[in-house]
Amino acid sequence: MFLDPKAHLADLLRAALLKVAPDHADTPVLIERPKQASHGDYAANLAMQLARAMKANPRQIAEGLLQNLPASEWLVKSEIAGAGFINFTLATAAKTQVVKSVLAAADAYGRSNAGAGRKLQVEFVSANPTGPLHVGHGRGAAVGDSLCRVLAAAGWDVTREFYYNDAGAQIDNLMRSVQLRCLGIGPDSPEWPEDGYRGEYIVDLARAFMAEETVVADDKSFTGSGDPHDSDAIRNFAVAYLRREQDKDLKAFGVSFDVFSLESALYTDGKVKAVVEQLKHNGYTFEQDDALWLKTTEFGDDKDRVMQKAGGGYTYFVPDVAYHLDKWQRGFTKVINEQGADHHSTITRVRAGLQALNAGIPQGWPEYVLHQMVMVMKNGEEVKISKRAGSYVTLRDLIDEVGRDATRYFLVARSPDSQLVFDIDLAKSQSNENPVYYIQYAHARICSVLQQWGGDVAGLTAHSLDPLNDERGLALCARLQAWPETVATAAAEYAPHQIAVYLKDLAAEFHGWYNAERMLVDDEAVKHARLALAAATRIVLRNGLDLLGVSAPESM
């Protein structure tokens, strides 16, 4: 049976609390790991939480709790420290039992039903089809996909969605850039639009259109007409072509989507117009300077916002409101948007528009995870341009340079709200300084030992774990014990980088133990116990790497 030490200790303290202070039985019981190992395995500050309400000395409260603490075979010592902390030391068997729990659960270890199968949608990447995916899109893809994996591991029914604009000024500039290339006109010509696209991919796109190629993306396909004067055909072909290129990059990155949504459909289906009419009907709009405004200040914005410009066109947040209303109507009561930090300014006005619809949408919906910019370094210098795109570093550049695994790990390894320096030289190095190599090497190292042993891994659960009594081995067990809570916290906080941090720490614990203790020793009991711990570590490493979309190689 799997023992969750924190939950077990919390249950013991709640039982004691019912006797010591029944009027305060609903006080939250928090169990934490002490910063110093000499303070035991776990600690609780319950007595200090109760001190003010009970008007008593916390140490006296702690003494009462300990006197009424139920007996437990998993607990060898409990003592009061400092102002009233209660420190707990677990029995060795309580620390090592996690090994058999991991071996029994295998791929399911760390997964939970916290989400209870409820629907959740994550929108991420959502790059407009105007060029190759840049490194910022790559960070969004790594964070968004890993977040989906973590949330699914926590029991949510996750839908992955990609939303993009296939019309408007950017697409018109794209069409015109391709058209001029079809006519043999380059960026040096005065005819070239000021905001035209100049990368080499435009040349390839124009060549494919003139050759009347058929391009097939995940959500659309189109055949070029070969007529350089056919603007509509060029526009449709360019969108399909670049969507196909994005799909290729995302597949190389191990990222897929369940749903693709088009901004143009919100107009053709009348959803934008319906939203505008509803906002008018609800009394949240006004006209000023020949423009239509939304009273976003009534919902916390610092100023009201233009919805429809004097020329008749809608501002960019209006279709976003229509799009999110559509998400709500599709039954997604929980929605997370993973986007670049440059989208921060749209959050308040989109939420204001949704509230103004009076559609029953809760405040603070949808939720956002915003990632900061990425700086790419090579040979100690910043890399700013790509041979393919011309003006920026592409996701494909990184994948080709360092591989999918390193790219995914490095892009997700830091909190999204912190800026990221992607060091190509470090990502390519085969050393302990490279965290993804360090983690994968731990997995491969365990595979090598188990292969060298040649025994039945499944049969290791039948052997005693009593020989696992060394300090490093017990520390490794404690790290394995923390895995389910790590996954739960990463899901609750939308923080997949916590998985990356955990895996680096787990690999360090394993390598330290491996270097200190031989596994294939003559003593059968010791050998089987150590092999069981190694096999359990392999499972957790594999499970964690899978949540990051990183492979777990068996040899390196």
Q: How far apart, in whole angstroms, are the C-alpha atoms of residue 543 and residue 102?
A: 11
The whole-number average pLDDT for the span 498-526 is 97
Scanning 413-496, the segments in alpha helix (DSSP H) are: 424-428, 435-453, 471-481, 483-492
**Cis preceding-peptide flag for 34 (omega within 30 of 0):** no
What tens digit of pLDDT does each residue of 320-329 get? Answer: 999 999 999 9
Asked whether the predicted pLDDT for residue 408 surpasses 80, the reply is: yes
Q: How far apart, in whole angstroms, are the C-alpha atoms of residue 296 and residue 291?
A: 15
What confidence score (pLDDT) does residue 263 get? 94
Reduced to 3 states (helix: H, G, I; strand: E, B; else coil), residue 489 is helix
Please choose, from the candidates 285, 297, 417, 290, the residue with its C-alpha nearest in 3D space to the C-alpha of residue 349. 297
Residues 6+ apart with CB under 8 A from 499: 146, 150, 412, 486, 487, 490, 544, 547, 548
What confidence score (pLDDT) does residue 388 get? 74
DSSP β-bridge partners for residue 162: 260
What tens digit of pLDDT does each residue of 426-437 get? Answer: 999 999 999 999
Question: Quick one: pLDDT band at residue 2, thresholds 50, 70, 90?
Answer: low
Q: How far apart, in whole angstroms, are the C-alpha atoms of residue 20 and residue 58?
A: 12
What confidence score (pLDDT) does residue 175 get? 97
The whole-number average pLDDT for the span 452-466 is 95
- Which region, left, alpha or beta, applies to residue 280 given φ > 0 means left and ψ of -120 to 50 means alpha? alpha
- In degrees and rounded to multiples of 5, residue 264 shows phi and psi of -60, -35
| CB-based contact 173:282 (threshold 8 Å) | no
What tens digit of pLDDT does each residue of 337-373 get? Answer: 999 998 888 899 999 999 999 999 999 999 999 999 9
Percentage of residues in the chain with pLDDT exceeding 70?
100
Asked whether the predicted pLDDT for residue 223 surpasses 70, the reply is: yes
The whole-number average pLDDT for the span 145-154 is 98
The residue with tokens 């990183």 is: 550
Asked whether the predicted pLDDT for residue 312 surpasses 90, the reply is: no
What confidence score (pLDDT) does residue 391 get? 81
DSSP β-bridge partners for residue 78: 88
- In degrees and rounded to multiples of 5, residue 263 shows phi and psi of -65, -40
Cβ neighbour number for residue 280 with a 10 Å cutoff = 14
Asked whether the predicted pLDDT for residue 1 surpasses 60, the reply is: no
Q: How far apart, in whole angstroms, are the C-alpha atoms of residue 404 and residue 80?
A: 50
Pairing of strands 85-90, 75-81: antiparallel
Q: How far apart, in whole angstroms, are the C-alpha atoms of residue 237 and residue 215?
A: 8
The pLDDT mean for the chain works out to: 95
* DSSP letter, residue 285: E
Reduced to 3 states (helix: H, G, I; strand: E, B; else coil), residue 305 is strand
Residue type, 123: E
- In degrees and rounded to multiples of 5, residue 548 shows phi and psi of -95, -5
What tens digit of pLDDT does each residue of 514-531 get? Answer: 999 999 999 999 999 999
Please choose, from the candidates 287, 190, 205, the residue with its C-alpha nearest in 3D space to the C-alpha of residue 243. 205
Query: Strand locations in 233-300, DSSP E?
Result: 259-262, 285-288, 291-294
Asked whether the predicted pLDDT for residue 126 surpasses 90, the reply is: yes
The whole-number average pLDDT for the span 442-469 is 96
Paired tokens of 161:
């969605």
The whole-number average pLDDT for the span 217-226 is 95
Domains and CATH numbers, the chain: 5-90 (3.30.1360.70), 169-246 (no CATH), 374-428 (no CATH), 432-547 (1.10.730.10)
What confidence score (pLDDT) does residue 247 get? 96
Reduced to 3 states (helix: H, G, I; strand: E, B; else coil), residue 356 is helix
The residue with tokens 């040096």 is: 188
What confidence score (pLDDT) does residue 4 get? 85
What confidence score (pLDDT) does residue 169 get? 87
Please choose, from the candidates 196, 124, 119, the residue with its C-alpha nearest in 3D space to the C-alpha of residue 158. 119
What tens digit of pLDDT does each residue of 32-65 get? Answer: 988 887 888 999 999 999 998 899 999 999 999 9
DSSP β-bridge partners for residue 123: 161, 337
Question: Within 13 Å and on the Cβ side, how many CA atoms surround 265?
Answer: 7
Q: How far apart, in whole angstroms, are the C-alpha atoms of residue 552 and residue 444?
A: 8
The whole-number average pLDDT for the span 471-499 is 97
Residues 6+ apart with CB under 8 A from 84: 45, 47, 48, 51, 57, 58, 59, 61, 62
Interaxial angle between packed helices 92-105 and 524-547, expressed in degrees from 0 to 180 and rounded to the nearest 10: 60
The residue with tokens 């920026």 is: 392
What confidence score (pLDDT) does residue 35 get? 83
Question: Quick one: pLDDT band at residue 285, thresholds 50, 70, 90?
Answer: very high
Q: How far apart, in whole angstroms, are the C-alpha atoms of residue 312 and residue 296?
A: 20
